[in-house]
Amino acid sequence: MVSGDEMTSEARAVSNGVVSSPGETDPDASWVDPAADLTLEEARRQVEPLRDEIRRHDYLYYVEGEPAISDEAYDTLFRRLKAMEEAYPELLTPDSPTQRVGAEPRTDLPTIEHTAPMLSLDSTKEPADVERFVDRVRRGLGVEPENPGPTWILEPKLDGVSIELVYEEGVLTRAVTRGNGRQGEGVTENVRTIPSVPLRLREEDRPAPPLLAVRGEVLMTLSAFDALNERLMEEGSTPFANPRNATSGALRQLDSSITARRPLDFLAFDILTIEGVRFDRDMEGLEALKSWGLPVPDRLETGSSLDDILAYHAGFVRDRDTLDYEIDGVVVKLDDLEGRDLLGSTSHHPRWALAFKFEPRKEVTRIERIAIQVGRTGVLTPVALLRPVEVGGVTVSRATLHNREELERKDVREGDLVRVQRAGDVIPQVVEVVPEEARKRAEPYRMPEICPNCGTPVELQGPFTRCPNRFGCAAQLKGRLVHFASRNALDIEGLGKETAQLLVEQGLVEDLADLFHLEAEALAELPGFAEKSAGNLAGAIEARRTTELRRFLFGLGVPEVGVTVARDLALHFRTLEAIRTASREELEEVSGIGPKMSELITTFFQDPNHARAIDRVAAEMVELTVPGVPGEGAGGGADGAGDAHPAFAGRTWVFTGGLERLTRSEAKRLAEGLGAKVTGSVSGSTDVVVAGEGAGSKLARARELGVEVMDEEAFVALLEEAGVDLAG
């Protein structure tokens, strides 16, 4: 129990008032509303100290792991606050500890841009790769072989759902899932229900910064997961397959009151963006996060050698099965933040961090049959249908055999006893055949010569067997529909895997263009559809007749054209026709597109079958827009705004520090719309650095390298010179 000397006088009065209320010494006694006898002014004096006291106990419980009062005493304080807010609603604030019960149900999850890219991590299971990583970083930092260091942050790699929390003036304003790394789903109301997420930053030890964006992991402990599944089974509901699925589903609920009933936790591990504060080391940032009330992972350590990293990893391998949370490895990060800026990042991962993963868990079972699965790109994948076996807490009945060459190399046959693992503890795969001396094996398995779905003769492409009937094979069409409707493509809500299968199998969709001719009446006849859901899907499809060119291009499934390349192609060529007719040389003018990729893209568009299918679906579109700039029309603007500008085109820009007239994401979008490449680190290839308020190591690095530096005023003037109407 916390001593009276540790409380403020106001909090002591509030706490004493609660404890002395009738019946409150007995936690099981019915609550007597203590706010009934308070005037508004009395309640106003008490309410904020009481909130501070509850936040203090939240910090002690979730961050320090040292609760100072019993759960019953905490509940008493909480009920006191809730009663005062109910008696005087004008005292209620969004950051009050009582505001974790969930808001009104939503109809969608908005797409929100991150304050900074949330990159993936390069990963390995091999100690030799870790050694190469350490050596590469040392060389990049100029550390001499005979010298120690650098210092590494070592932390567990949590197997949850990555998320960004944004605090403005110390108050939680938004929470965004990782999504594609640049944008994610806004799940603020759901995250507000998680008890370990502070709604207001703690400021007892240090003031909150004006802006703080934190990356962390939302997860569910194994004990909480087991208790949840037990409750679901008692209710007659289907239990979850694993904690990560349960967490992901809870975060994406449209009704946050459902999220509030799930036992979610949050741990912070990185600062994405911060204003008004500068750290030299990552460990300083982690300590600051903890002081602000954000829980960080247990067993955080620092090391200065490869041996330290290997020993840390070995410790978690040893303890892995005794932990109350899922991890799939450990993370190794450079502690020196200036060094991180020096090393920079690829478009996929930072060069200063590495995930050192565990060997997957393995079990033995028998292959009952080998089946062929045809994916949306036409690749025929052999799949082992297994006698069900539990691997790392998940029942596995199917496992990939990858491709023709891998199948032959492992010599896997029907009826074989095999060792199965979950790659990355997620995707099941067959590792090897377990010898059985007394058992006669089946004949070697041979891949089919024709597509089992459409009967088209297959083609061999390296180790892969592929059906070339891209737009005519029903199995590929199912996958293409899902891809075409996915969040990074046309983002058609309600068109998932099961619906796509129904549409193809029922003959309602024979190519992508048919989507736009679906009528609600026909959809309502499908299993699982009602009048409302059929109308919603038909409306969602119709609404996507106007979409961004980059989304449409990504949705077509052009080989090698992912989200980033689709965006770059759209910004460079600005029309679908220009992309379709571009030569290989013209394509290679786009950053990131080389000879191999340009050949694949031109071959795809020149295929007569593909051309006819693209013509049909493109004819259904009302408009394919290109992300522009303020004051610009969807197609590019007659005034030239959004066209490549010599100050930007082909040049690499970096934004650092706080901007006043624009957010950093707006500045980035405007620069890219004018042809610039915007990166997050300063290097020898950087052309311009825009330095705002509080710019630190990136500005120093730019000056050291002789990179052009301008302030926000000069940047805005350049935008206006390029035809951007910032007042529009």
pTM, two decimal places: 0.50
Task: Give the largest Cα separation in the chain, rounded.
Answer: 87
The pLDDT of residue 11 is above 60? no
Contacts of 723 (CB under 8 A, 6+ apart): 637, 639, 640, 641, 643, 645
CA geometry: angle at 390 spanning 387 and 394, to 5°? 120
Mean pLDDT of the chain: 83
Give CA–CA dist 293/513, Å, rounded: 52
What are the beta bridge partners of residue 394? 391
Higher pLDDT, 461 or 2: 461
Amino acid symbol at 419: R
Would you place residue 12 in the very low, low, confident or very high pLDDT band (cuts 50, 70, 90)? very low
What are the beta bridge partners of residue 398? 385
Contact 673, 627 (CB under 8 A): yes
Cis geometry, peptide bond prior to residue 150 (ω within 30 degrees of 0): yes
Q: How far from 76 is each of 18, 66, 243, 327, CA to CA, in Å?
A: 7, 19, 31, 36
The pLDDT of residue 645 is above 80? no
Model confidence pLDDT, tens digit, residues 86-120: 888 888 887 788 876 555 555 567 888 999 988 88
Per DSSP bridges, beta strands 353-357 and 123-124 are parallel
Task: Tell me the backbone φ, ψ of residue 670, rounded to 5 degrees.
Answer: -65, -45
Place of tokens 């006698």: 387
pLDDT > 70: what percent of the chain? 87
Q: What is the mean pLDDT of residues 151-173?
A: 93
Can you point out the beta strands (E) in 424-511? 427-433, 459-461, 464-466
Q: How far from 212 is each of 113, 205, 231, 294, 641, CA to CA, in Å?
A: 15, 16, 37, 12, 32
Q: Cβ–Cβ contacts within 10 Å for residue 334, how many?
A: 24
Contact 306, 132 (CB under 8 A): no
Q: What is the mean pLDDT of residues 7-27?
A: 36
What is the reported pLDDT for 289? 96
Closest CA to 250 of 174, 328, 325, 189: 189
Residue 688 has what DSSP assignment?
Answer: E
Residue 142 backbone class (left: φ over 0; alpha: ψ -120 to 50; beta: rest): left
Contact 218, 266 (CB under 8 A): yes
What is the reported pLDDT for 617? 95
What is the reported pLDDT for 174? 93
Contacts of 263 (CB under 8 A, 6+ apart): 220, 221, 224, 225, 227, 228
Among the listed ranges 27-31, 260-264, 555-559, which one has the minimum average pLDDT value? 27-31
Would you place residue 636 in the very low, low, confident or very high pLDDT band (cuts 50, 70, 90)? very low
Amino acid symbol at 264: L
The pLDDT of residue 13 is above 60? no
Would you place residue 392 in the very low, low, confident or very high pLDDT band (cuts 50, 70, 90)? low
Q: Tokens in use for 586?
A: 């013209």
What is the reported pLDDT for 35? 56
Give CA–CA dist 354/489, Å, rounded: 30
Q: What is the mean pLDDT of residues 391-412?
A: 84
Would you place residue 546 in the very low, low, confident or very high pLDDT band (cuts 50, 70, 90)? very high
Q: Cβ–Cβ contacts within 10 Å for residue 385, how many?
A: 13
Identify the three-state secondary structure at position 297: coil
Domains, the chain, in order of start with CATH, read: 4-91 (1.10.287.610), 135-357 (3.30.470.30), 362-458 (2.40.50.140), 474-544 (1.10.150.20), 549-625 (1.10.150.20), 652-721 (3.40.50.10190)
What is the reported pLDDT for 255? 79
Q: What is the mean pLDDT of residues 118-131?
A: 89
Give CA–CA dist 199/96, Å, rounded: 7
Task: Tell me the backbone φ, ψ of residue 496, rounded to 5 degrees.
Answer: -105, -165
Q: Tokens in use for 500?
A: 């796509």
CA geometry: angle at 528 spanning 527 and 529, to 5°? 95
Give CA–CA dist 123/353, Å, rounded: 9
What is the reported pLDDT for 492? 92
Contacts of 455 (CB under 8 A, 6+ apart): none
Task: Tell me the backbone φ, ψ of residue 675, rounded to 5 degrees.
Answer: 100, 5
Among the listed ranges 107-116, 421-430, 447-456, 593-602, which one has the minimum average pLDDT value? 421-430
Task: Tell me the backbone φ, ψ of residue 297, rounded to 5 degrees.
Answer: -60, 150
Among the listed ranges 29-33, 176-180, 200-204, 595-599, which one has the minimum average pLDDT value? 29-33
Q: Tokens in use for 395?
A: 């029942």
CA geometry: angle at 105 spanning 101 and 111, to 5°? 105
For the chain, the first-to-last Cα distance in angstroms comes to 59
The pLDDT of residue 156 is above 60? yes
Higher pLDDT, 395 or 49: 49
Give CA–CA dist 333/297, Å, rounded: 14
What is the reported pLDDT for 9? 37
Model confidence pLDDT, tens digit, residues 275-312: 999 999 999 999 999 999 999 999 999 999 999 999 99
Give CA–CA dist 71/62, Å, rounded: 13
Give CA–CA dist 532/537, Å, rounded: 9
The pLDDT of residue 4 is above 60? no
Positions annotated as catalytic residues are 157
Among the listed ranges 32-36, 259-263, 379-383, 566-570, which one has the minimum average pLDDT value? 32-36
Contact 304, 153 (CB under 8 A): no
Query: H or E element: which one contains 580?
Result: helix 576-580
Q: What is the mean pLDDT of residues 388-411?
A: 84
Give CA–CA dist 474/479, Å, rounded: 9
What is the reported pLDDT for 123? 85
Cα dihedral 4/196/114/333 (nearest 10): 90
Would you place residue 629 in the very low, low, confident or very high pLDDT band (cuts 50, 70, 90)? very low
What is the reported pLDDT for 16? 39
Q: What is the mean pLDDT of residues 483-500?
A: 89
Would you place residue 644 in the very low, low, confident or very high pLDDT band (cuts 50, 70, 90)? low
Contacts of 205 (CB under 8 A, 6+ apart): 291
Q: What is the mean pLDDT of residues 469-481?
A: 87
Closest CA to 213 of 299, 280, 275, 306: 275
The pLDDT of residue 433 is above 70? yes
Top-ranked range on mean pLDDT: pick from 314-323, 365-374, 397-406: 365-374
Among the listed ranges 84-98, 577-591, 664-678, which one has the minimum average pLDDT value? 664-678
